[in-house]
Structure 1
C-alpha cells in the first residue's frame, strides 16, 4: 500500500496539481465516460490530505478532503472497484458522495493509477447518478485508459526533464564560450611573439637544417593560430563546420608534426585513414587532442604506445585512438566529455579539450565516446558519415 508521503513525493514530481487541466488528460476522461456509458468521469489524484480532480468530464472539478473520497478505498488497496450501485455497498453507504451531501453517486467505477515505481497516486474514476450494470468491456476499458493516464504524466515528466537538460546544456555551452573568450588573449599573444621571434631568426640562420627547423616551427605556429581561431569561434558561436573534403591521413601527419615536442612520431602507429567531409582544421584539432591526451596519461616511467586506426561500416567511418595509459573507470566515461571536467588534476590541462572535441564531432554529424582497451588503456573514438 502506498503511503501519503510517497504519494506526495510522486505528485510533486509530476507537478500536475494546481494548474489548468491537461488537454491530454481531459481527452482521456471524456473517452472513459464514453466507454463506461456514463455522464461523469475524472482523474482523481490523492495527496496525503486531499483529493484533487485534475481533469473532469460532465462536471466542474475541485479539491476535497481525503476522508470524504470514495477513491481512497482504491488508492489504499491498490485494487479497482466496479459497482452497479455504490449506495448499497457498506463501504460507501454513508459517504457524502452517495448520500446527496456532495453528490448522489450510484454507478461507480474506479481504477488505480500506479506509477512505474509502484506508487498508487490516484484513480481514473467514472460514475453516474443512476444505477446500471457494470460490463466487462467497461472494466477492461477503464483499466487500459488508467494506464494511458500514467503514460501521459510520465511523458510530460520526461519532456520537462529534457527541457531542464537542454537548459543545463545551454548553460554549459555559455560557460564554454565565456572560457573561450577569457583565454583567447592569453593563447594568441604568446603565439604572436613566437611567430615574430621565428621570423627574425629565419633572417639570421643560414644552415640548411636550421632553416628547415625554423620553417617547420613557423608552419606549426601558423596552423596553431588558425586552429585556435577556428576553435574559439566555434566555441563562442557554435557555427556549423565547412563541407570540404578532408583527408584525415594528411591531417594526422600535420597533427603529429605539431606534436613533435610532446610525443615522438615513432611511438604513434597510424593505419590508413579515410577522407570525410567537414572542417580540416577542426578535425585536425580533434586528432591532436586525442593523441596528446594519450601521451599525457601514459603511466609514469613508460613510453606512450598509441595506435590510430579506422573501421568503416553502416555508412560511417569510426576513427580510433588507442593508448596504453591509465584507463578510465566505466562510471566516468561520460564525465570526461563534460565542459571543464578534469578527472586527474595531476596532469596539466584545462578540461576543455574533450568537451570541444565532442562538440566538433557532433557538429559534423557524428558521435564520440571512449571504451576500455583490452590489456589496459583506453580507446577514444569518433564516428563520421562516410563520403557518398
Structure 2
C-alpha cells in the first residue's frame, strides 16, 4: 500500500535524477571504496521508491532493478542506523528472500547503512554482501556509515547543480511572478478604494473610513510580500526566517482578497490547522495565497461551487500541508509540467500565466521541502507540501 511518505520519497528521488542512466562515476567510486574497505566481493547503492529497488551503482554484480517486495534493503532502510546480519539464512527477516535462497543470489553476510536526505527522508542504502558468513568490525562499520553520508552529499550536489542551471531562466521570469502574486491583493485594494469613493460625503464617513483602513491593511501585506520576494530573488537568496505559523489566518486573508475582487466563485473552504507550520511567515502567506487561489479558480471554472479543504498534519519528514479541491484535477502526465514557470498544462481556458505553482515550488524548496500533486478524495486535485520540522 502506498503512503504519503512514499509519495514524498518518490518526489525527492526524481529531483536527484539518477534512475535509468549509467552509474555516476562518483557513485561508482564510492561503492568500490565500500567493497574495498569492508573486504567484500559485492557492494551496491540502492535507491528504493514506492515500487522498485534501483541499483544505481554496483561492484561484483551488474546493476539491476527488482521489485521492492524482493529487496532485502527495503525491509530495513527506513530504520535508523546500521543493519548487520552475519548469516542471512538464520535471520527470519531474510531467510526466505530470493537473494538468500539461491533464486537470485546466495547471500550469507549482509550489512547496510541507510541513505538519509538532509530533510530526514530515507531513500535507499549502501549495502555490502558476501556468500560466506562473517562479522563487520567496528572500524569497517564506521567507514560504511561515512560512505553513506558521502553518497547523499554527491546526490545533493547533483540536484543543486541541475537547479542552478535553471536559475537564469527563473530570474528572467521573476517580474512576471511578482505581478502574478500581487494580483489578488491589488484587486482587493482597488475595490476598497472604489467603495470609499462611492460612499455619500457626510453620512458615509464611517463606512469610508473602514474601507480605507482595509485598503491600507492590504497595501501593507503587499509591501511585505514585495520585500520578501525581492529578497528571495537576490543573488544567493535571502535567509529563511522560520517561525511557528498558523495557516488558518493566511487562508482567511486569501479568501478575503478573492471575495473583494469577485473571484471567490462562492467557494466553501474548510481549514484543519491544529499543527503549526515551521516556515517564513511572509513566504508561507504567498504559498497559501497561490495554492488556495489556484484551487478556487480551477474548481470554479466549471460552474461548480468550489469545495476547498486545507489541512496540516505531521509526517516522518516534518509537516505536511494539503489543499484539496473538487475541480477537474491535473492529468498524471502534466503534474510535473505545471510546476514549471509559464506552464499551464491542458487547462488553457482558465485565466492565468502558469506562474503560481512554480512560485510555490520555489518557496517550498527554499525551505528544504518538497511539493507534488495527487488525486483528491474530493474528485479534483490535491496539492501537497512537506516542510522539514528543523
Normalization by structure 1: what TM-score?
Answer: 0.53
Aligned to 1:173: 167
What is the CA deviation profile of residues 128-172 of structure 1, one whole-angstrom value per residue up to 9, with x for unaligned ones? xxxxxxxxxxxxxxxx9xxxxxxxxxxxxx999987764442232
Structure 2 unaligned runs (5+)? Answer: 1-20, 41-59, 66-129, 131-151
Correspondence list, 1:259-278, <5 A: 259-260=258-259, 261=261, 262-263=263-264, 267-278=268-279
Shift of 1:381: 1.4
Counterpart Cα distance in 2 of 1:168 and 1:369: 19
Counterpart Cα distance in 2 of 1:286 and 1:212: 28
2:321, 2:386 within 8 Å by CA — same for their partners in 1?
yes
- Pair 1:314–1:212, CA change in 2 (3 A): same
What is the CA deviation profile of residues 232-283 of structure 1, one whole-angstrom value per residue up to 9, with x for unaligned ones? 4313443231123322222222222222222167521222343233321110
- Pair 1:224–1:114, CA change in 2 (3 A): same
Aligned to 1:301: 303
2:260 paired with 1:258: no
Give the aligned length. Answer: 265
Counterpart Cα distance in 2 of 1:114 and 1:366: 34
Aligned to 1:227: 225
- Pair 1:303–1:169, CA change in 2 (3 A): same
- Pair 1:159–1:115, CA change in 2 (3 A): farther
Aligned to 1:322: 324
Counterpart Cα distance in 2 of 1:213 and 1:240: 35
**Could you tell me which of 207, 212, 215 is aligned with 1:214?**
212
2:254, 2:293 within 8 Å by CA — same for their partners in 1?
no
Structure 1 unaligned runs (5+)? Answer: 1-11, 17-21, 30-34, 36-111, 118-143, 145-157
2:372 paired with 1:369: yes
Aligned-residue CA RMSD (Å): 4.9
Aligned to 1:310: 312
Shift of 1:197: 10
Correspondence list, 1:281-300, <5 A: 281-298=282-299, 299-300=301-302
2:327, 2:381 within 8 Å by CA — same for their partners in 1?
yes
Normalization by structure 2: what TM-score?
Answer: 0.52
Shift of 1:292: 0.9
Aligned to 2:243: 244
